[in-house]
Amino acid sequence: MMKRLFQPGQIGTMELRNRIVMPALGLNFVTDNQINDTMVDFYTERAVGGVALVYISSLVEHTGEEGYEKLASLGKMGYMPSLGEDRFIPGWRRLAEACHRHGARLGAQLVHVGKYAHSSVLGGAQPVSPSPIKANMTTCGQPGEMPRELTLPEIQRIVENIANTVQRAREAGLDTIEYNLCSGYLMREFLSPITNQRTDEYGGSLENRMRFVLEILRRTREKVGPDFPLTARLSADEFLPGGHTLKETRIIAQELEKAGLNGFSVVGGGHETSVPLSPMSVPRGAFVYLAQEIKKAVKVPVIASARINDPFLA
């Protein structure tokens, strides 16, 4: 089993020296959305250690929602790196070059936190979501607020912004990006029947709930072409009453593959799930079965994740 772990892998056009992938983490190392020395040093050590592919969480900013400051979707939350403007490109290029020098690939996980934002970091603006379903928590330690429903023009601006963000990632020398379709953030909110109760073309049926994410993927392909690897971090089962299940997620994965996605990293649950996901009390490899089921449904590479911290298990 160890022998297979260290065999080369490939996601789309991206060749990997082995099959070890480091998922995106919220490290809070930055203060102004800029890649800094601390981040470069931290991820360089992971590259030196032999990881084949490193993902880093990156804010989706300046989405154009009505009432938001130009700083945008997370306003003053500067502790996550951003690709929301061209001025962030040099820092990402520096980090990509550092990883490449030691044989690792670099990807940015694109995150729009949706209802998990808070007015205190949005310049007083209300958080947004597919539907006005109150959040039970936020990403900034504040109590959850009632989000407002995104308008159709706002949805289209978010689609365009995310595609532009991926274009910047490519210009910065990154090897791939990862759409965050897990944890309960905005792109996942559109997929979930719990948080998406719209009655227009973006809500209701699974086909409609997938529309937002598929539009993002297709618009991104128009921007970056067919060769830049696009991946997704996908929650295969919400583990919540009324939420989407593995049965629906198989269909979602197949449709994303048809639209040009090159690979998946599979997890389960989200921030509000009642099922513990990552504490040490959770058995190692507890959610590998979700990745196995998604792999049966698609032909592109699938990465198993969560509580895989033993090379013999991997």
Instruction: From 33, 127, 29, select the one nearest 73 (Cα to Cα).
Output: 127
Give yes or no: 79 in active site.
no
Selecting among 43, 68, 179, 185, the annotated active-site residue is 185
Active site residues: 185
